[in-house]
Amino acid sequence: MARRTNPLRTLVVFFLGIAVMYGLVALAGSWSPALGLDLEGGTRIRLAATGDGVTTESLDEARGIIDARVNGSGVTEAEVTTEGNKYVVVEVPGDSSQSKLVDVVKRQAQLRFRLVAQYGAGTAQPTAAPTATGSGEPTPSTTPGGGVLLPSETPAASSSSTAKPSPTASPTKKATGKNRAPFVLPDDSQSADPTGTATATDGSSSTGSPTGTASPTATPTDAAAESKDPVDKALAWQQNPDEKSLAAYNAFACGTDTRSQSVNPNTGEAVEGDNPNWPLLSCDDQGQKFLLSVAVVEGTDLSDASAGVPQNQLSWVVNLEFNGHGTEAFAKVSNALVGTEDLFAIVLDGNVLSSPRMDGRINNGRAQISGSFNQESAQALATSLRYGSLPIAFEKDVSVETIGPSLAGNQLSAGIYAGLIGLMAVMIYCLIYYRGLGLVVLASLIVAASITYGVVLLLGAAANFTLTLPGIAGLIVAVGITADSFIVYFERIRDEMRDGKSMRVAVEAGWARARNTCLAADAVSLLAAVVLYIFAAGVVRGFAFALGVSTLIDLVVFFWFTHPMVSWLSRFRFFNQGHKLSGLDAEALGIDKINLGTPATAGGRA
Amino acid sequence: MGKFSRLGNELYSGKRSVNFVGRKWLWYAMSGVIVLLAVGGLYFKGLDMGIEFVGGAQYKVTVADSAPKVNQTDADKIREAVAASGIAGTESPVVNTAGERSIIVQVQTLTTAQSEDIRNVLAQTMDVDPTNGVSEEQIGASWGKDVAKRSATGLVVFLVLVVLFIWAYFREWKMSVAAIVALAHDVIITIGVYALSGFEVTPATVTGLLTILGFSLYDTVVVFDKVRENTKNLRAVRMTYPEAANLAVNQTLVRSINTSIVALIPVGAILYVGAVQLGAGSLKDLALALFVGMAAGTYSSIFIATPLLAHMKQGETANKQLEKRLAAKRRHQADDRYANVPVFADDLPVRDESDDLEDDDELAEDVVPPATTTPAKPVPTGRGRVVPQASRPVTPSTAAGRAQPTRQSRSKRGKK
C-alpha cells in the first residue's frame, strides 16, 4: 500500500489544486454565484399559441417539450408552465438579454425532408399554364402529358388506399398523434376528382419519364406496393408534379410574410402553413421559391441532433441521426436521387434551410444540415430538434419581461444567516468534543466550504448552475454529511487507541477502516446523484447535481486534506503524547492510560 | 465530557451496552405506531399539493402608468397581505414582480367567491381597481405527470441499484432488505409529518425527501459496515449474531449521536429561523422535512435496520447452531467457572487473534498487545469422550484406516 507518502506533500498538492480552481474562477470572472429564480428572479417569456388544434393536451405537450429544451442541457432550473388555454410561460433565471433562448424555446422545430420538384426566382409568374415552367428548372420531367391514367392504376386502387390509411401508414401513425396538425389523406381527393387521381399515381408507373432512375430502389414488378409507399409516391411526384401544384407554384411569390404555403391537392388551393401530407410551396433565405413534394422524412424520425464542426471544415453544421424508419426512408430517397440533378430540401418550420443535391448514397441514417450557421445558431437548432417538435405554433411576437424573485428578500439572508449559525454551532461542538482534533474538523469544513463555493462559481459559468434556496439548504445539509466522515474517522482512531495502539499507529489503522466505510456510504450517495441526474428533470436534476458535487467534495477533502492533516499532526508530541487538549488523552478516550508508542525494548523497562 | 468519554469507552469494550437488538419488539412497536400515525394522517388529511403540482390561479396586478414602478418591497407587501388574508389555499403564495408595472401572484385554485376576496385584497394593497387592475388566469402545473413519472422511474432504478450495491458490498441480501425497510420507515414518517402539519408540498419538499433518502441509506451503510466487521468471525469472538450486531450498534453509538448532532444543528437553525422569524416561506417546510427525516434516518439505522437484520440472520441454520452451542457452553461455564482454565501450553497465544486488521505498519511492532488468556482450543465439554489433542498435524488420508500423524524427514525438520 502506497500510503507512506509524505502527508505534507499531499497537503501542498491539495492546496495547489484549490489555487488552480480559484484561478479558473478568476478567469471566469464572477465572484458571486448565479442565483436561481426564487432568489434573484429572471426572465419570463410568454408564448401565445396560434392556429387551430390548440387543446389543453397539445399545450401541455408543448410545455413538456419546451421544458426539455430549456432544462435539457445543464442545470438551469427553469420553470415552464401553461397559462390559461393558450399560453406557455417560461421562466429562466438570469438577465433578459437571452434572445437566443427565446429562439430555442419558440421554434416549432418541425423538420421535414421534401423533394424539390421545381424551383426558381421567388416571384409570381402570371402565365399560370402548367407547361410554363420557371427559368432555371433542372427537372425536365414536367411533361404536361404526364397526367394520363394508366389502366392498371384504376380508381379502385386509390379508393382502396382511401379506405384504410395504410399507404401513408408510417408517417400517419406519427402524424395523427397530438404532435401534428390535422391530417388529411391526399388520396381522399384522388378518387373523388379524376384529375387529382392522376397526380400522384400516374407518376409512379410512368416509366416513360425522362429520368428513368426515379425509383430505382422500388421493385418495378410490385406496382401496388410501390404506389403505397409514400416515399416512392413522392419520388414519382417529383418527376411529374400535378398541375394544380404547378399552378399554385407559379402563382406563389416569396414575400416577407408568406414564407410557405401548403397546396391542397383536392382543390389546388394554397393555404398558409406546413402540412406534411400536402405539397409545399416555400422559400429559402436567398429568395428562391420551391415546389416541394410531401414530406418524405419527418423530424419525428430523428433519434438525435447535435451541433458541430466537421473535420477539415470551418463552418458549423447540425448533425442529424435518424431512427430505423427515418434511416430507411432517407436511404431510399438518397438511392433514388444520387447521380441525378434532382434536389431535395430540408424544410424547417416551412422555410427551406438548404436544398442540396444528393452526392452519395446515405444508408446509415446520418445527415448534416449545413448553411449559414454560427456556433450559437447551430447549437440552438440542434437543441430545438433534439427534444422533438412542438405540436403547436406560437405567435411571432413573444412577451419577454424581467421578473423579480419569488421569495422575499429576507429569505436568502435568513437562510444564509441560519446556515452560518448552524455551522458555527457545529464547529463549537466539534471543538469541545474533539478538542485538538476539532481544529482539524474546523479546517476541513472551511476547506470543504471554500471548494464548494469555488465549484458553484465554476459551474455557474460552465453549466449555468444556479443556486436556489433549496439548493443552499442542501449545501448546508451536505456540510453535516461531510462532517460525518471526520466523525467516523476520529471515532475509529479513538477505538484503535482504546485497543492499546499508540496514536501514530491508530491514525493509520483507523484510516484503513474509516476509508472503506466512507467509500461505501458515499458510493450510495453518488449512485443516487447519477441515477437521478440521468432520469429526472428540473428541480430534481439540479438537486442530483448538487448532491453529486458535494459528495465528491466530501471525498476529496477527506482523502487529500483530513487524512494527511491528521497523519502530519500525529508527528507532534502534542498529539501523540496525549496532551490534555489534544482530544486523544486518556481521559478523552475514557481509558486509564494510553499507549505512548515508546518502543518496547527486549528487556522491558527498567 | 469525561463521563461521556468514559461511556464511549465502555460502549466500545462492551462493558456497558444498550440492548438495541434484544428489545426489537419494543422498537418495532414504537415505529409501527408512528408509521401508522403517518399513514393515517396521509389517508385522512392527505397532502396539500402545491401550485407546481396541481396548477392554480394567477393574478396579475397592474399599476397605472402614473404610479411609481413596482419593486420588491411591493411584492413582499402583497405576499404578506395575501398570506394574512385567511383564504384557504393562499397561505404560501408565490409573488414576484413582472416588468416594471405589474406583480404576479400565484395561489392554489380558488372558488369564485374566494377569487373575489383575493382580488379585493390585492386591489387594496396596491391601490388599484379590483376589476381593471387585477387580471386572473388559470395556470397549469410545471410539475406535470410526465415529470413525476420520470422522477419516479429514476427513483425505482436507484432503489434497485442500491439493493444490488448493498448486496454486493456486504455479500448479504438481508442487509439490503433491512436498509430498504429502514428507508421506507423514514420516508413514510416524513411524508406523514407533511400530511399532519398541513405544509404545502413544493418541489423543495421533493428535494428534501430525496436528501433524506440519501442520508438514511448513508447512515445505514455506516452502521452496517461495523456490523459486518463484528460478525465476520463469530466463532472466534464467541458471540451470537444478535450479540455481535448489538455490540456493533453500541460501538457506533457515539458516532451516531455525534453525526446526528452535527447534521441536525444547521437544519435546526434553518428551521428555527424559517419558522419563528420568517413565518411564511419555503424555508421552514424544507427544514422541517430535513429535520424529521434526518432524525428518523439516524434512529432507524439503530433501532430498525440492525434489529431487523439480526432478526433475519437469527433464523439461519448456522447461526441457530452457533447460538445453541454458545448457550450450552455458557451454561457449563456458569456451573463451573474454573473447569475451563487452560493448562499452560507452548502454543498458548499471547493475544487474541481475532483482530483481522493487517498491521503492515512497522510501528505496529512497538505495540504491546494486551495479553488475554484464551485457551488455544476450546475443550469440548459436557458430552462424549474428550478427544486428545494432536501433538502434530495429521494427514487426512485414510490409507491406514484412521488419520496418522505426519512427520517430516529429519533433513527437512526445522526448516520451513
Residues of chain B with CATH 3.30.70.3400: 56-139
pLDDT attached to residue A171: 37
CB atoms within 10 A of CB A400: 17
Q: How far apart are the first and last CA of chain A?
A: 37
Task: Decide if pLDDT at B185 tops 90.
Answer: yes
Contact B217 A524 (CB under 8 A): yes
Whole-prediction pTM value?
0.67
Among A357-371, A476-490, B200-214, B373-387, the minimum mean pLDDT is found in: B373-387
Nearest to B104, CA basis, from A63, A413, A37, A85: A37
Q: Give B119-152 pLDDT, tens digit per residue.
A: 888 888 877 877 777 888 888 777 767 777 877 8
For A417, which of B1, B258, B273 is closest by C-beta distance?
B273
Highest mean pLDDT (candidates A19-33, A215-229, A337-351, B325-339):
A19-33
Considering A212-216, A426-430, B383-387, the range whose residues carry the highest mean pLDDT is A426-430
Closest to A524 in 3D by CA, of B210, B249, B190, B148:
B210
Which residue type is seen at A596? L
Our CA-based measurement puts residue B102 at a distance from the nearest CA of chain A, in whole angstroms, of 9
- Contact list, B290 vs chain A (CB under 8 Å): 473, 477
Confidence of residue A205 (pLDDT cuts 50, 70, 90): very low
Kindly identify which residue of chain B lies nearest to residue A413, measuring between CA atoms: B273
Q: Which residue of B has its CA nearest to A534?
A: B154
User: What average pLDDT does the segment B239-244 reach?
Assistant: 86
Start-end of CATH 1.20.1640.10 domains in chain B: 2-48+144-325
Please give, rounded to a whole number of angstroms, the shortest distance from the CA of A369 to a CA of chain B.
31
* CB contact (8 A) between residue B9 and residue A488: no
Identify the structural domains of chain A with CATH numbers, from first to last: 7-36+408-589 (1.20.1640.10), 42-105+398-403 (3.30.70.3400), 111-124+143-165+178-389 (3.30.1360.200)
**Residue scoring higher pLDDT (A571 or A94):** A571
Secondary structure of residue A357 in the 3-state scheme? strand
B264 part of contact set with chain A, CB < 8 Å: yes
Res. A531: pLDDT tops 80: yes
Q: What is the mean pLDDT of residues A21-47?
A: 81
CA distance B408 to chain A (A): 33
Residues of chain B found within 8 Å of residue A506, distances taken between Cβ atoms: none
Give A508-517 pLDDT, tens digit per residue.
888 988 888 8
Contact residues on chain A for B258, CB-CB shorter than 8 A: 433, 487, 491
In chain B, what residues touch A433 (CB-CB under 8 Å)? Answer: 1, 258
Q: For residues B290 and B58, is the Cβ–Cβ distance under 8 A?
A: no
**Which of A24-28, A288-292, A298-302, A437-441 is predicted least confidently?**
A298-302
Pick A411's closest partner by Cβ from B206, B222, B278. B278
Nearest CB neighbour to A599, from listed B211, B222, B366:
B366
Whether B281 has its CB under 8 Å from any CB of chain A: the answer is: yes
Q: Superfamily for B2-48+144-325?
A: Multidrug efflux transporter AcrB transmembrane domain (1.20.1640.10)
Query: What pLDDT, on a 0 to 100 scale, did the predictor assign at position A537?
Result: 66
Q: Which residue has the higher pLDDT, A289 or A536?
A: A289
| Residue B164 pLDDT grade (very low, low, confident, very high; cuts 50, 70, 90) | very high
- Residues A78-105 have a mean pLDDT of 74
Res A469: pLDDT: 75
Q: Which residues contact B164 (CB under 8 A, 6 or more apart)?
A: B176
Which residue in A has a C-alpha nearest to residue B135's C-alpha? A84
Flag if A505 and B363 touch (Cβ within 8 Å).
yes
Q: Do A473 and B98 touch (CB under 8 A)?
A: no
- Report the Cα A91 to chain-centroid distance in Å: 17
B226 contacts A524? CB cut-off 8 A: no
User: Which residue, B126, B282, B83, is CA-closest to A38?
Assistant: B282
How far apart CA A153 and CA A227 sit, in angstroms, is 9
Contact A473 B287 (CB under 8 A): yes
Contacts of B272 in chain A (CB under 8 A): 418
Type and span of the H or E element at B60: strand B56-62
Assess B292–A contact: CB distance below 8 Å, yes or no. Answer: no
Lowest mean pLDDT among A100-114, A201-215, A217-231, A260-274: A201-215
B141 close to B53: Cβ distance less than 8 angstroms: yes
Instruction: Write out chain A residues lying below 8 Å of B270, CB-based.
Output: 415, 418-419, 422, 473, 476
Question: What integer pLDDT is reported at residue A143 of this predicted model?
Answer: 33
What does the pLDDT read at residue B31?
93
Number of C-beta neighbours around residue B103 at 10 A: 28
Residue holding cell 396538425?
A: A181
Contact: A422, B268; criterion CB under 8 Å: yes
Question: Does A480 lie at the interface with B, CB-CB under 8 angstroms?
Answer: yes
* B167 touches A: beta carbon within 8 Å: no
Nearest to B97 among A404, A429, A499 (CB): A404
pLDDT of residue A223: 41
Residue A543, pLDDT above cutoff 90: no
Interface contact flag, B141 A589, Cβ < 8 Å:
no
Cβ contact, residue pair A537, B147, below 8 Å: yes
The owner of cell 491406514 is B400
Candidate from B1, B215, B283 with C-beta closest to A411: B283
B332-372 pLDDT per residue, tens: 777 766 666 666 776 766 665 554 444 444 444 444 444 45
- Taking an 8 Å cut-off on Cβ atoms, the answer to whether A474 and B277 are in contact is no
Answer whether A414 sits within 8 Å of B278, measured CB to CB: yes
Q: Can you say how many angstroms the Cα of residue A125 is from the centroid of all Cα atoms in its chain? A: 44
The answer to whether the CB of A92 falls within 8 A of the CB of A69 is: no
Within an 8 Å CB–CB cutoff, is residue A41 touching chain B? yes
Q: What is the pLDDT of residues A218-265, one digit of tens each?
A: 333 344 444 567 777 777 787 777 777 777 787 777 766 656 777 777
Quote ipTM for the complex.
0.72
Q: How confident is the model at residue A194 (pLDDT cuts 50, 70, 90)?
A: very low
How is domain B56-139 classified at the architecture level of CATH?
Answer: 2-Layer Sandwich (3.30)
Report, as an integer, the average pLDDT of B279-307: 82
Average pLDDT, chain A: 71
Residue B5 has pLDDT above 80, yes or no: no
Question: Pick from A89, A590, A597: which is nearest to B6 by CB?
Answer: A590
Smallest CA–CA separation between A518 and chain B, in Å?
7
The mean pLDDT of chain B is 79
List own/partner pairs for B106-113 with CB under 8 A and 24 or more apart.
B106/B51, B106/B56, B106/B57, B106/B58, B106/B59, B106/B139, B107/B51, B107/B56, B107/B57, B107/B59, B107/B82, B108/B50, B108/B51, B108/B54, B108/B56, B108/B57, B109/B54, B109/B55, B109/B56, B109/B57, B109/B138, B110/B57
* Residue A307 contacts residue A318 (beta carbons within 8 Å): yes
Q: How far apart are CA A94 and CA A100, in angstroms?
A: 13
Q: Are A266 and A188 in contact (CB under 8 A)?
A: yes
The set of residues, in sequence order, having a beta carbon less than 8 Å from that of A26 and lying 6+ positions away, is none
**Secondary structure of A148-196 as H, E, C letters:** CCCCCCCHHHHHHHHHCCHHHHHHHHHHCCCCCCCCCCHHHHHHHCHHH
Res. A406: pLDDT tops 80: no
Q: Is B265 on the interface with A (CB under 8 A)?
A: yes
Residue B183's pLDDT band (boundaries 50, 70, 90)?
very high
Segment 123-162 of chain B within 8 Å of chain A by CB: 137-144, 146-147, 150-151, 153-155, 157-158, 161-162
Given an 8 Å threshold on Cβ–Cβ distance, is B278 in contact with A477? no
